[in-house]
């Protein structure tokens, strides 16, 4: 009895896009972006104009994904012939890239997307990291290190303003999505989160907001660069159990200390006001404002100030 064999060629287009995404881990949007922007592969069209990919296409895309996970950018490897691309990926494996933790692999892939100025790929990578690692590990081992690394390479002149802005926007969208997904029901303690007037960097505040949501807080995110009186007015409407602010850039002089003092006076005496972020340590001490040292300290303060009872309206 003879065995059944396939006569199909590796270059024969026969796989629909769902098979490609399953085998490579790429989302359909990112796959289409790679085709359109880089010509990574050139799929054929089947009945109904649906994309069809060959075994060779899938093999090439898989190698590209592994190169990106090693920290390379798409633009730097997409034009390589298959044999050279395969050798490069093998060399990366020999150098210990395969021993990277999942968080390190997501960080490398995300940085590659930032260098390539592909925010759709960055956002897709961050979503996969959240779903794979869980939110606490994602924040501590992927997102926070990524923000720090972006700052380092930007100051070194290795990234342009457009790269930094696109990356920030993608991260903010991801964090906004998490806040919506984590919204608790009635009765949860309430946190009002913002950045004060003159502080336009909201990533740190959003990370703190998501961390609080993971701990079961209902978070109202007001946004960045808000005057003290606007924050106080929102607090009178929302009646939060905590008000949190974040400062990314040190601003020890100017109008900000007065803004913070005015906000403290405008809030109820029973409403704690917490101030964190990289720039918070440069601020002069203000009576009634609790300084947050880092993310672990933030979680301690959330537990400390969590109300014992909170009823839904």
* Band of pLDDT at residue 130, cut at 50, 70 and 90: very high
194 near 231, Cβ under 8 Å?
yes
Which of 123-132, 239-248, 275-284 shows the lowest per-residue confidence on average (mean pLDDT)? Answer: 275-284
| DSSP states of 64-87 | HHHHHHTT--HHHHTTS-HHHHHH
When pLDDT is averaged across residues 252-266 and rounded to a whole number, the result is 83
**Residue 5 clears pLDDT 60, i.e. is over it:** no
The two tokens of residue 24 are 């490579």
Average pLDDT of the chain, as a whole number: 87
| pLDDT of 173 over the 90 cut | yes
Report the distance separating Cα 8 and Cα 5, nearest Å: 9
| Residue 240 predicted with pLDDT over 50 | yes
Rounded to an integer, the average pLDDT of 289-302 is 92
How many residues are present in the chain? Answer: 313
State the alpha helices, DSSP H only, in the chain: 17-24, 28-38, 55-69, 74-77, 82-94, 102-115, 119-133, 135-138, 144-155, 161-182, 203-214, 228-238, 256-266, 295-304
Asked if the model's pLDDT at residue 207 lies above 90, the reply is yes
pLDDT value of residue 8:
67
Instruction: Decide if 259 contacts 231 (C-beta within 8 A).
Output: no
Q: Report whether pLDDT(97) > 60.
A: no
Q: Which residue has the higher pLDDT, 43 or 27?
A: 43
What confidence score (pLDDT) does residue 26 get?
Answer: 80
Reported as a pLDDT band with limits 50, 70 and 90, residue 13 is confident
Averaged pLDDT, 177-198: 91
* Cα distances (angstroms) measured from residue 108 to each of 104, 122, 157, 243, 281: 6, 11, 19, 35, 30
pLDDT, greater one: 7 or 269: 269
The torsion defined by the Cα of 180, 234, 290 and 175, in degrees rounded to 10, comes to 20
Q: Show the domains of the chain with their CATH numbers.
A: 13-69+84-93 (1.10.1660.10), 100-182 (1.10.1240.10), 185-304 (3.40.50.280)
Residue 91's pLDDT is what? Answer: 86
pLDDT value, residue 147: 92
> What average pLDDT does this structure show over 107-134?
90
Q: What is the pLDDT of residue 198?
A: 87
User: CA triplet 185, 190, 191: central angle to 5 degrees?
Assistant: 130
Is the per-residue pLDDT at 90 higher than 70?
yes
Burial annotation 95-106 (CB, 10 A radius, 16+ → b, else e) = eebeebeebbbb
pLDDT tens, residue by residue, 36-83: 888 899 999 888 888 999 999 999 999 988 888 777 878 888 889 989
At residue 29, the pLDDT reads: 76
> Which of 176 and 76 is assigned the larger pLDDT?
176
For residue 298, what pLDDT is reported?
Answer: 93
Please report the pLDDT score of residue 159 as a whole number: 82
Tell me how far apart the alpha carbons of residues 27 and 21 are, in angstroms, rounded to a whole number: 6
What pLDDT is attached to residue 129?
93
Asked whether the predicted pLDDT for residue 98 surpasses 60, the reply is: no
Most confident of 25-34, 85-94, 171-180: 171-180
The pLDDT of residue 146 is above 90: yes
Evaluate if residue 4 carries a pLDDT over 80: no
């Amino acid at each position: 009895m003879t065995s059944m064999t396939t006569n199909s060629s590796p270059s024969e287009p026969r796989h629909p896009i769902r098979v490609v995404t399953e085998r490579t881990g790429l989302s359909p949007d990112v796959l289409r972006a790679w085709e359109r922007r880089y010509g990574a592969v050139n799929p054929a069209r089947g009945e109904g104009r649906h994309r069809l990919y060959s075994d060779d296409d899938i093999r090439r895309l898989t190698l590209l994904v592994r190169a990106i996970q090693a920290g390379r950018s798409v633009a730097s490897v997409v034009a390589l012939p298959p044999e050279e691309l395969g050798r490069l990926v093998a060399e990366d494996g020999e150098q210990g890239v395969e021993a990277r933790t999942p968080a390190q692999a997501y960080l490398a892939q995300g940085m590659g997307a930032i260098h390539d100025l592909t925010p759709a790929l960055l956002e897709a990578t961050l979503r996969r990291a959240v779903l794979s690692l869980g939110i606490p590990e994602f924040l501590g081992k992927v997102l926070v290190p990524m923000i720090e690394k972006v700052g380092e390479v930007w100051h070194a002149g290795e990234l342009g303003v457009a790269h930094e802005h696109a990356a920030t926007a993608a991260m903010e969208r991801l964090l906004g999505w998490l806040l919506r997904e984590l919204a608790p029901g009635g009765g949860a303690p309430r946190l009002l989160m913002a950045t004060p007037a003159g502080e336009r960097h909201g990533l740190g505040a959003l990370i703190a907001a998501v961390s609080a949501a993971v701990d079961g807080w209902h978070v109202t995110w007001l946004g960045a660069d808000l005057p003290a009186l606007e924050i106080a007015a929102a607090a009178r409407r929302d009646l939060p159990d905590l008000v949190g602010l974040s400062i990314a850039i040190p601003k020890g002089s100017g109008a900000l200390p007065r803004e913070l003092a005015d906000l403290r006076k405008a809030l109820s005496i029973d409403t704690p006001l917490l101030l964190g972020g990289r720039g918070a340590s440069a601020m002069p001490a203000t009576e009634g404002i609790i300084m947050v040292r880092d993310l672990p300290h933030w979680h301690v303060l959330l537990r400390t100030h969590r109300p014992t009872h909170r009823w839904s309206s």
